[in-house]
Structure 1
Amino acid sequence: MTTPTANHPQEPIRVVIVDDHPVVRSGMHTLLAASPCIEVVGESSNGDEVLTMVENTSPDVVLTDLRLGPGGDGVDVTKAVRGAHPDVAVLIITTFDHDADIVRAVEAGAAGYLLKDALPDEIVAAIRAAAQGETVLSAEQSQRVIDTLRVGGRPPSERELDVLRLVADGRSNDEIAKALFISRATVKTHLGHLFDKLDVDSRTGAVATARRLGLID
């Protein structure tokens, strides 16, 4: 976790909380209100209200859940806020630790990506860091972003992922060929492409890497 090095600002950091679960939103408000360096200036249950709330409250940081239901997700919130108010930092906080989601958040302009099981001090430190223009990603998360972007240059095709899902189910090449109505040689070709794209040398490694990157369940 990046830790800010500057002193506390003279004025509290103004934060808007976006989460579609009222209990979670209330709990986060209580947690942040206990910090003397943070002032919660607004709450929203969906992404549709965020831009209006940002314009009305002038926050330093928007703290948004990743999954927000029909009103868009945290990545949509990030794009909207950063597009209209580039001086406002956006932190995404979620229970989903998928590499693909982290990359989407970073590419949208999020200052960082936190898990909801983070300690209160870590969440406060992340908000302070984001408000000061710092990136809030652990060394591990940064490396995972790099790895995912590397794979993203040549993403597996949908047919290759179909093959990989069946591999994950424990199917043999013959069984995969029969299930997908392709030849056994074609299955081997797809696996070869997957090994190359995921930078692995085994079926087990391909499944593990694809799951870590959020390519398959």
Structure 2
Amino acid sequence: MGSPLSLCVVALDPLLEAGAVSALSGSPDIALVQPEATADVAVVIVDRVDRRELDLVAATGDGPHRPAVIVIASDMSPAEAAEAINAGARGLLRRHEVDADRLARTVRAVAGGDCTVPPDLIDGLLDQNTETDTYPGVRGHGADRGLDERERAVLRMVADGRETDEIARELCYSPRTVTTVVRDITQRFRLRNRAHAVAYALRTGLL
């Protein structure tokens, strides 16, 4: 077993912070650290997704250790989800959907380079052009063409937190094909990883 993932919890409300710390304290592969310490993942807990909260998300992800950021909010519209992704979030959760097991799985997913978004928010994001000028520093780069149907299907499932083998089974592809599809997308758009690919596609309306 490798070293545990280091995780910090950031919240404007101390009660929300205490609840998240309690939920994660029982996971043996997750080590809780203070926000100022080096962390692989940061969980940012907010009541709503507004300008102050988005600034907190951006500042957390742009900190000296650049942790992957998960945002937990009381509720989020597709537009607010898009803003959170633009601010640097790699995982989105609603508070009423979160339990200790789901939160721990989301932490592991984003630490591994995945991007997780609730399915209904994915559908809402796909219905709109989500690119904004609020946080231009976290955008990807342009490309000559968009995504084909196979690429769209794979990225939808990556965004939903599915593993490569699971995506392959459901879409009747080989795991190697799924890996190749994601690699081709990241190379074509000059993106860093799977999480960056999903966030970029959602932000720019490619999906």
Match of 1:137 in 2: 117
* CA radius of gyration, larger in: 1
Match of 1:29 in 2: 21
Distance 1:71 1:62 in 2: 19
Q: Which has the higher helix share?
A: 1
Written as runs of structure 1 = structure 2, the 5 A alignment for 1:1-217 is 10-42=2-34, 53=36, 57-67=37-47, 72-73=52-53, 75-85=54-64, 87-117=66-96, 118-149=98-129
Please, which runs of 5 or more residues in structure 1 have no aligned partner? Answer: 1-8, 44-52, 153-217
Match of 1:202 in 2: none
Q: Is the 8 A contact 2:61 2:67 kept in 1?
A: yes
> What TM-score, normalized to structure 2?
0.56
Structure 1 SS opposite 2:44: strand
Q: Is the 8 A contact 2:49 2:80 kept in 1?
A: no
Distance 1:133 1:90 in 2: 11
Q: Is the 8 A contact 2:48 2:76 kept in 1?
A: no
Structure 1 SS opposite 2:9: strand
Q: Is the 8 A contact 1:103 1:149 kept in 2?
A: no
Distance 2:2 2:59 in 1: 28
> What TM-score, normalized to structure 1?
0.53
Match of 1:157 in 2: none
Distance 2:60 2:95 in 1: 22
Superposed CA deviations along residues 63-94 of structure 1, whole A, max 9, x for unmatched, are 00234899931x21222233345741000001
Distance 1:72 1:150 in 2: 20
Distance 2:15 2:22 in 1: 11
Structure 1 residue 16 displacement after superposition: 1.0
Distance 1:86 1:62 in 2: 10
Distance 2:48 2:34 in 1: 16
Q: Is the 8 A contact 2:48 2:75 kept in 1?
A: no
**Root mean square deviation of aligned Cα:** 2.8
**Residue 30 to residue 140, structure 1, CA distance change in 2 (3 Å):** same
Q: Percent identity?
A: 22
Distance 1:36 1:128 in 2: 12
Match of 1:211 in 2: none
Distance 1:72 1:21 in 2: 13
**Residue 17 to residue 68, structure 1, CA distance change in 2 (3 Å):** farther
